[in-house]
Amino acid sequence: MKKQSKLLIASTLAASAALLVGCSTLPSSAELDKMTAEVAKASFRDQGIAKTDRLVQDAANRECMVADVSGKPLDEKLAKQIEAANLATIKWPAGGYYIGDWKQGEKIAQNGRGMTWSDKAGSANGGNCYNCHQIDKKEISYGTLGPSLYNYGKIRGVKNLYAPESAAVIQYTWGKIYNSRAYNACSQMPRAGHMGVLKEDQMKHIMALLLDPDSPVNK
C-alpha cells in the first residue's frame, strides 16, 4: 500500500510539473492574435461580391477589441482621435438635401438583404435597421441591441424639417448613420455610408423615416 501511495504521489508530481512547463510555454497574446487571424483567413475565400478583405481590421477595430478583451475603457485621448478621424470621412449630401421619402425608408429599414456572395455587384442593399432597433410601433418584430427609435424626431423637437432649429439634429442623424464612430469610438452600429452599405438616396429615405413629422415613427 505504501509503495502504491508513493507511486501515486510521484505520478501526481510529474503531471503537475508537466502542466507547469506547458503553461510556461503558452503563446503570447500577440501570437494568439496572429494565429486567430491566420485561421480566419484560411477558413474563408472570395466568392462573388463577398471578399476576404472584410476580415481586415482597421486601427479602431483593433484598439476597441483590445479594450473590450481587457475589460478596460478605451483611453480617452485615443477615443477622441478615433472619433475625429471618422468624422472626417463623413460625406454630407449633395446640395444639403437630407430628407427623402419615409415610405421608402420603411422598406429599406425592413430589408436585411445584401452584401452576400449571391448578390449581384451594384445591387441595392437593405438597411436591416429593425434587426437592432424598434422604429415603427406597428412592427412587433425588432431587435434590442440598439435603442428604440420610435418618436425619434418628435422627442428631439423636429416639428419642421426646414426650420433652423432642426438643422443640428438632422446633421447629427446623418453623421450617425453614415459613420457612427464619429460620435462613439467603439460603436458597434454598422457604418452604413462609410462602408458603402447604403447609397446616398437610401440614407435620405431612412432620414425621412426617422425625422419627418408625417412619418408614423413620429406619431
Given this model, what pLDDT does residue 135 score? 97
pLDDT surpasses 80 at 16: no
pLDDT surpasses 50 at 37: yes
Q: What is the mean pLDDT of the chain?
A: 88
Higher-confidence residue of 31 and 166: namely 166
Looking at the fold, whether 113 and 19 belong to one and the same domain comes out as no
Given this model, what pLDDT does residue 24 score? 53
Looking at the fold, whether 123 and 207 belong to one and the same domain comes out as yes
Q: Is the dihedral of CA 45, 51, 145, 81 positive or negative?
A: positive
Q: Considering its fold, how many domains does the chain have in total?
A: 2
Which of the residue ranges 29-33, 87-91, 162-166, 191-195 would you say has the lowest mean pLDDT?
A: 29-33
What percent of the chain lies above the pLDDT cut of 70?
88
Report yes or no on 193 lying in a domain. Answer: yes
pLDDT surpasses 80 at 22: no
Residues 93 and 99 sit within 8 Å (Cβ to Cβ): no
Given this model, what pLDDT does residue 219 score? 95
Given this model, what pLDDT does residue 34 score? 77
Domain that includes residue 14, residue range: 1-43
pLDDT, tens digit, 9 for 90 and up, residues 177-194: 999 999 999 999 999 999
CATH number for the domain that contains residue 140: 1.10.760.10
Residues 153 and 211 sit within 8 Å (Cβ to Cβ): yes
Rounded to an integer, the average pLDDT of 26-51 is: 80
pLDDT surpasses 60 at 9: no
Looking at the fold, whether 105 and 208 belong to one and the same domain comes out as yes
Given this model, what pLDDT does residue 4 score? 47
Q: Which spans in the chain are helix H?
A: 2-24, 29-43, 59-70, 76-87, 102-110, 152-155, 167-178, 200-211
pLDDT, tens digit, 9 for 90 and up, residues 79-91: 999 999 999 999 9
Residues 113 and 126 sit within 8 Å (Cβ to Cβ): yes
pLDDT surpasses 50 at 76: yes
Instruction: Tell whether pTM > 0.75.
Output: yes
Report yes or no on 88 lying in a domain. Answer: no
Report yes or no on 133 lying in a domain. Answer: yes
Report yes or no on 24 lying in a domain. Answer: yes
